[in-house]
Structure 1
Amino acid sequence: MADAEQIVIVGASLAGATAAETLREDGWSGRIVLIGSEKSLPYERPPLSKDVLLGKAGTDSAQLHDQQWYDDHTIDLRLGTTVTAIDPAAHTVTLDDGSQVPYTKLLIATGSRVRQLDVPGADLPGVHYLRTAEESQALTEAYAAKPRVVVVGAGWIGLEAASAARERGCEVTVVEPQPTALAAVLGEEVGGLFADFHREHGVQFRFGTGVEGFEGTDKVTGVKVTGGEVIPADLVIVGVGVRPNTELAEAAGIEVATPENGSGIVTGADLQTKVADVYAAGDVVRWDHPLLGRSVRVEHWQNAKDTGAAAAKSMLGEDVSHDAIPYFFTDQFDLGMEYAGEVPRGTSYHVVLRGDPKSGAYLAFWLDDDNRVLAGMHVNTWDTIDAVSALIRSRKQVDPARLADTSVELSEI
């Protein structure tokens, strides 16, 4: 690409900012326009549900770079600006002020937004979501008063929010329609271990329970659950998942997977869509994974960094076949966990535990019917995630008994 050409990145997200950084690191000196709807400098989300909620850090600690960095790298960063349309034929994007920005290559890194509950009282003050830096700051300030907290949803965000609230001295109840925590991600056996761990730290659960509405007049005072009971609450945190922001792409005629097929902007392994010069990265991309042999969409921090960098290289004409193993981590109370791999919904699997969960340090593996490792995680057991990823990449059959045997090195399985 010639220096006179211009790359436009829609979404000043982790994926978008990482792409801009990679473009410069790979030696390209042409123009880069990075456009974001939020007014905050691009930031990472993990600190928002961890150290920021614990009151250990401010939201500025999550920033990738300060403004000077963008100036020094000649990146035209346009914050508080929304792209309203993409015209692939004209190679332009339209901004909310009606102006148009031309592009030679376009990266869509629009991320995702929280799923909102459509129930009575959902707009009451005191009902919070946790996605943005502003929302995280509001929650950490609210925690200081030690309110009675009800968390709706026992997924990763819900459990991290519950953990932080308990550590800040709040009374916490988690409401979840599934039979246990993290059931959709880890299954009932391992999800139950996380639920037990939280109970040991004073978190109360209402599993198999839905939310019918929120009570209160000027502010939320309770959560009405299935059957009509009202759980008292001074503060509610809703964590029921996210939706990828695919509307811009869809309106521009760029292929988007249906919700039944996992949603996301469809790309090849090179993160390029079927529309010329248009790429996607981050939460919003569903790409053909060359190792796993299927399309995947991943909503975690590492994926934003990996796909942002890979998309940048692809835009510069490098040979890209993005095969990173999905990875994420969590910190809750004194528990640290890393997870690699993916168990597709509807897949038949069995779980192998390595170590005793009661000790607080163990590994878990998800194996398919042919005893191939689909995914694995370690809890308070460090320096093993590379070995876990290697087992997934190998696609070889393993002996479950040896996998469970802590006297056998993972590298020897």
Structure 2
Amino acid sequence: MEPIVLVGGGLASARAAETLRAEGYDGDVVVVTAEAHHPYERPPLSKDFLRAESDRDVVFPLADDWYDNHGVEVRAATLAVGLDAADHVLTFADGRTLRYSQCLLATGSSPRPLNVPGTDLSGVHYLRTLDDADRLSRVILDCSLEGAGRVAVVGDGWIGLEVAASARTLGLDVTVLGRNSAPLAPVLGAEMAQLFADVHAEHGTRLVRDTSVARLVGSESRVVGVELDDETEVDADIVVIGIGATPNVGLAEVAGLDLRPGTQGGGIAVDGTLRTSHQDVFAAGDVASVPSPHFGRPLRVEHWAAANDGGVHAARAMLGADAPYDKLPFFFSDQYDLGMEYTGWVDADRGYAVVVAGSVRKRELVAFWVRDDRVVAGMAVNVWDQVDRIKDLIVGGHDVPRGELEDFVGS
């Protein structure tokens, strides 16, 4: 029998391989990854790993010897460029091919490029891969040891803010350049976005809002600043670009698999088992657009839990399970002394109200996003072990009185 092939070097592939063996599958399993590493997870790359507060092992969900001990072949530094779903064949960049019985596409996403002059200068970084994190960590640690260094972060989303917090924690001068009225405003709304803005400002990060970048300024092939659309210039020895990501759907596209339109978040269309439009090809993680029974539409989520849970679910489906994927979106972030956990999903175009339990001033709270008296998302900030309770409110689908939400913390 041909092997099950897992394409991708992230957490979804690791969890799929682990689950296949845990569920008793004893056939051949091959992991194919374009990177030169075993599959790894990305959250530490902008946090403790970037600050050199943890060793390299923190990014690997499975030990290096797990793959050999469980008979899983890892083909690292191997780029898949073609997928013939009808004939069950993968083609690699060097011309080799590999036949499979079933295939999981866990190809993740790629950083959205900043299309302005100067991005090819030395000192300009994206942060997506382990190699990216290695390079950026060396640079900011060197600057920290020298007691000087100016970092400009282009983008005020999660990655941008986590990098900013890490760099500022190491003593660097940090400026965040955002297109929004406050960091994370499109995701969290004005009130909760301001909470994050205040945290960064209090730690000495400069926030430039409602701006866009015209070009990166260089001297002798090295970046020295960022010119904004109003022609002001921000001095910078290091520029980190974090303006979003796009799903890696290339293999699915050449195979003729169904894709979601951009209006629905893009990605590879799958059903509740994470099966694509071809019965023997599945997708999980950042790249998969999954029907949500809770929100009545497909969702593509670029966060740790989607890869962690999706890899497990896809592996079980490959072995015959037919239960629909019903996990709520979940993610977390740590910035300075603020830790948060968020679950649910908000369609900002449909409007919502935010109800807060606890204290914004003390930054110990649970915020709820509510539409028509029903909770659609919740975020716990420095208040722990609340996620399951928040999930129960979302999944319950019933009206929740405002007073009940306001009393949530401590109840």
Q: What's the TM-score once normalised by structure 2's chain length?
A: 0.96
Question: Structure 1 residues 182, 407: CA separation in 2 closer, same or farther (over 3 Å shift)?
Answer: closer
Which of residues 130, 140, 153 in structure 2 aligns to 1:151?
Answer: 153
**Change over 3 Å in CA distance of 1:80–1:353 after alignment to 2:** same
Aligned counterpart, 2:115: 118
1:13 Cα deviation after fit: 1.5
Contact 2:344 2:378 in 1 (8 A): yes
Please say if 1:61 is aligned against 2:68: no
- Corresponding residue to 2:176 among 174, 177, 185: 174
Of 357, 363, 366, 1:363 maps to 366
Deviations 1:7-28 (A, max 9, x none): 1111122101111110000000
Q: What code does the residue aligned with 2:103 have?
A: L
- Aligned pairs for 1:213-232 (under 5 A) are 213-217=215-219, 218-232=221-235
Which of 134, 137, 141 in structure 1 is aligned with 2:134? 137
Alpha-carbon separation, structure 1, partners of 2:408 and 2:302: 32
Partner Cα distance (2:125, 2:389) in 1 = 39
C-alpha distance 371-327 of structure 1, shift in aligned 2 (>3 A): same
CA shift at 1:407, angstroms?
7.0
Paired residues of 2:14 and 2:62 also in contact (CA < 8 A): no
- Does residue 74 of the first structure (1) align with residue 71 of the second (2)? yes
Q: Cα–Cα, structure 1 residues 407 and 285, in superposed 2: closer, same or farther, change >3 Å?
A: closer
What CA distance in whole angstroms lies between the structure 1 residues aligned with 2:251 and 2:350? 32
Cα contact 1:41–1:79 (8 A) shared by 2:
yes
Q: 1:20/1:406 Cα in 2 relative to 1: closer, same or farther (>3 Å)? A: closer
Asked if structure 2 preserves the Cα contact closer than 8 Å seen for 1:265 and 1:284, the reply is yes
Matches within 5 A, 1:25-44: 25-44=22-41
- Mapped partners of 2:390, 2:279: distance in 1: 37
Q: Mean Cα displacement is larger for which, 127-136 or 65-74?
A: 65-74
Match of residue 389 from structure 1: 391
CA distance 1:396–1:87, shift in 2 (3 Å): same
**Contact conserved, 2:247 with 2:267, CA < 8 A, in 1?**
yes
Partner of 2:164: 162
The answer to whether structure 1 residue 344 and structure 2 residue 347 are counterparts is: yes
Structure 2 distance, partners of 1:66, 1:360, is 37
Aligned partner (choices 354, 376, 382) of residue 357 of structure 2: 354
Q: CA deviation at 1:160?
A: 0.4
* Residue 262 (structure 2) pairs with residue 259 (structure 1): yes
Retained in 2: the 8 A contact 1:402–1:408?
no
Residues 34, 76 of structure 1: 8 Å contact kept: yes
Deviations 1:54-74 (A, max 9, x none): 220233321122332101111
Q: Is the 8 A contact 2:8 2:39 kept in 1?
A: no
In 2, Cα distance between equivalents of 1:253 and 1:337: 39
Q: Is the 8 A contact 1:313 1:320 kept in 2?
A: no
User: 1:238-277 maps to which residues of 2 (within 5 A)?
Assistant: 238-277=241-280
Gaps of 5+ in 1: none
Deviations 1:92-148 (A, max 9, x none): 111112111111111111000100101010111111111111111111111121310
**Match among 278, 286, 290 for residue 289 of structure 2:** 286
Q: Which amino acid aligns with 1:77?
A: V
Query: What does the per-residue CA deviation read over 1:281-327, in whole Å, with 9 as the maximum and x for residues that have no partner?
Result: 01000011223221111100111010000000001001221000100
How many pairs does the alignment contain? 405
| 1:402 to partner: Cα distance | 2.2
Q: Judge conservation of contact 2:264–2:299 (CA < 8 Å) in 1.
A: no
Give the 5 Å matches for 1:390-409: 390-406=392-408, 409=411
Which residue matches 2:81?
84
Q: Does 1:325 align with 2:321?
A: no
8 Å contact from structure 1 (residues 175, 210) kept in 2: yes
The amino acid that maps onto 2:6 is: I
Residue among 218, 237, 246 paired with 2:240: 237
**TM-score when scaled to structure 1?**
0.96
**Secondary structure of residue in 2 paired with 1:378:** strand
Q: Is the 8 A contact 1:181 1:188 kept in 2?
A: no
Q: Contact 2:293 / 2:326 at 8 angstroms: preserved in 1?
A: yes
Deviation of the 1:408 alpha carbon: 6.8
Q: Which residue in 1 is equivalent to 2:303?
A: 300
Q: Match for residue 212 of structure 1? A: 214
Q: Is the 8 A contact 1:128 1:139 kept in 2?
A: yes
Distance 1:281 1:345 in 2: 25
